[in-house]
Amino acid sequence: MLRLVMKFGGTSVGSVERINEVANIVKNEVVQGNEVVVVLSAMAGETDRLVNLAKGISDSFTPAEYDTVVSSGEQISVGLLSAALNNMDINARSYMGWQIPIITNANHKSSRIESIRSETIINSLQKGLVCVIPGFQGVSNEGRITTLGRGGSDTSAVAIASVIEADYCDIYTDVDGVYTSDPNKISNAKRLDKVSYEEMLEMASLGAKVLQTRSVETAMNNEVLLRVLSSFDAKENLKEGTLVCDEDKITDKRVVTGITSSLNDTKITLVGVRDKPGVAAEIFMSLADSNINVDMIVQNISEGGSTTDITFTVPKVDADKSEKIMSGITESVPYERIIIDNKIAKISVVGVGMRSNAGVASGMFNVLSDNGININVISTSEIKISVLIDENKAEKATKMLHKFFELDK
């Protein structure tokens, strides 16, 4: 007997037919004697519909009311699935976030889970019930509905799996696993049988949309075994997904595991910055104060010693805000001019094997140079190398690197 958390995303429950299909996948586990908790997103399109209603009322919609409105999407899907299971003679019931409860902080629209009353769930499982729980939502200590922010359903599933000590947290989605690169763009991308938390974390934050970053973090910190599975070919392809686990559990190690390409960044260059201590701190503190995540930073060698150029990247959605902040600090940080570049792509090569393999970086740079692709900015971590290049070259670069590191084999 296994104890499973099964999480299904919006497209997996996008219609009555799909909900019945999900009920069949759940039933399949139940009849094998497994204990099952199901975590659901809202039906595809539903959250957008609700967000648009809210936008229609006001751009500065009250956050607590926003959560009340938007959380209803998951309330609908869990009610429908519970009844669909009942209809198949499976004992099941829905639990809203406040009924368990899943306590979060009161930071509406992007709350964090503080605690989950696992007894509610475990007692229910021991009575032979399937618990169907809405992802994405919780309740604050003040008793108001909260939401975890977009993509929060994965995090809900992992957090629940952790507190009830589930054997696996299965993330059912519209793809059948994690690939060496985006299979929509790289036709010979291969599905990975296993990937380490660290690699998945890098790949998630770099734009592989399979899992939400915070959920991978939570899984890593609590050693929850994650499986990425398809809800669309579940019958033929059962459990042939990707296991996200500790590095130690992966025997067949590659140097490079995956290659990602992202168009979500803006490059900002401050030209002719007075080169004196405290300048970098001033720039990046001012951005951090506005909750803007700066990713890559490069400071060029100053010519003559009096001025320097500072280049950094921010999320594209924060580009305008960042420009405004930079124009507000010219008194304390004088600079000649600012260059904003939106036409860039970030290409990253990820793999835990890099730790013990020199030569990945030089191999990567050679491939790009051989193909006439100019590198703007480089940044590296222990298991990742990212470069900024012209966005028009992104697909070519990804293909060439995918081939060079033999990910199609």
Contacts with a second copy, residue ranges (CB under 8 A): 16, 19-20, 50, 53-54, 56-58, 60-62, 64-66, 68-69, 71-73, 75-76, 78-80, 82-84, 86-87, 93-94, 96, 98-99, 143-145
Q: Give the residue with the Cβ less far from a second copy, 64 or 122.
A: 64
Distance (Å, rounded) from C-alpha 296 to C-alpha 313? 5
Smallest distance from a second copy to CB 330, Å: 35
> Which H or E run contains 329?
none
What residues contact 133, with CB distance under 8 A and at least 6 apart? 37, 38, 39, 40, 78, 94, 95, 97, 100, 102, 121, 156, 160
CB of 347: closest distance to a second copy in angstroms? 41
CB of residue 390 vs a second copy: minimum separation in angstroms?
A: 42
Tokens at residue 130, please? Answer: 């399937």
Residue 388 to residue 386: CA distance in whole angstroms? 7
Strands 137-140 and 102-104, by their bridges, are parallel
What is the Cα–Cα distance from 265 to 344, expressed in whole angstroms? 7
Q: How far is the CB of 109 from a second copy (least distance, A)?
A: 12
Our CB check for a second copy shows the closer of 65 and 391 to be 65
Which of 2/53 has CB closer to a second copy? 53
**Closer of 103 and 389 to a second copy (Cβ):** 103
Nearest approach, Cβ of residue 92 and a second copy (Å): 9
User: Is the CB of 94 or the CB of 311 nearer to a second copy?
Assistant: 94
Largest Cα–Cα separation, the chain = 79
Work out how close the CB of 302 gets to a second copy at its nearest, in angstroms, rounded to a whole number. 49
Q: Where are the beta strands (DSSP E) in 231-316?
A: 242-245, 258-262, 265-274, 297-299, 307-315
Q: Which is nearer to a second copy, 98 or 284 (CB)?
A: 98
Q: Which of 200, 154, 150, 153 is nearest to 177 (CA)?
A: 200
